[in-house]
Amino acid sequence: MEQDAQLVQQCLQGDGSAWEELVRRHTRRIFNICYRFTGNRTESEDLSQDVFLRVYRTLGSYRSAHGGFATWMTSVTRNLLIDHYRRTKRDRITDSLDDKMPVVENKESAGRRPDEQALLGELSGQVQSALTRLSPELREAVILRDLQQLEYSEIQQVLAVPEGTVKSRINRGRIELARILQHMGVRPS
């Protein structure tokens, strides 16, 4: 991702088109992290915007020698998500595991039979719902590892915790997710 570092340099020199390119390259990824963390499109949209706003304001503090731009940006995203989680904690309704129906995603995937599509769509909705019930520290670890496919070292950098803690959180997050799904009545066939 040397190109990102180059674009950042151009941005710092006042090149607006370089910033536009950075936004184009990372919007989808940041939106996905936010969406998987919150499970809400509107909130994710606002959070993504906040992420880019903060990145834009603090672009000068990015050092390419300390890691890739994507990792740095993920770190900013994670911090904002945790802030958001703490801020909305009081307002959030702490539903029991059973009284909230899982949200089924409405998306089309080419090449799948309609029945497979329906099953996958249902499972995706259930997994997303279960994901939002994980504690934030386990949720972020699982999202970064299993959805964003980040390496342990990158997750360690984003979360600013030792690699052992990263591995432990991912493991605990997966086990917890399986238990939540089991409580929701989703069992392996």
Enumerate binding residues for other proteins (CB under 8 A): 14-17, 19-20, 23-24, 27-28, 31-32, 35-36, 41, 45, 48-49, 52-53, 56, 105, 107, 109, 120, 123-124, 126-128, 130-131, 142, 146-147, 167-168, 170-171, 174-175, 177-179, 181-182, 186-188
Extract the tokens encoding 186.
Answer: 């989703």
Extract the tokens encoding 31.
Answer: 């939106």
Nearest-approach distance from CB 187 to other proteins, in angstroms: 7
Q: Using CA atoms, how far apart are residues 81 and 60, in angstroms rounded to an integer?
A: 22
Pick the closer one to other proteins by CB: 65 or 149: 149
- Give the rounded distance of the alpha carbon of 98 from its chain centre: 24
Pick the closer one to other proteins by CB: 5 or 18: 18
Pick the closer one to other proteins by CB: 158 or 181: 181
Nearest-approach distance from CB 20 to other proteins, in angstroms: 6
Extract the tokens encoding 83.
Answer: 């802030």
Nearest-approach distance from CB 32 to other proteins, in angstroms: 5
Q: Using CA atoms, how far apart are residues 33 and 13, in angstroms rounded to an integer?
A: 29
Which positions ≥6 away from 176 have C-beta within 8 Å?
134, 135, 138
Nearest-approach distance from CB 90 to other proteins, in angstroms: 27
Pick the closer one to other proteins by CB: 75 or 176: 176
Nearest-approach distance from CB 9 to other proteins, in angstroms: 16
Task: Round the CA-based radius of gyration of the chain to a whole number and report it.
Answer: 18
- Would you call 11 exposed, middle or buried from its count of C-beta atoms within 10 A (0-12, 13-18, 19+)? buried
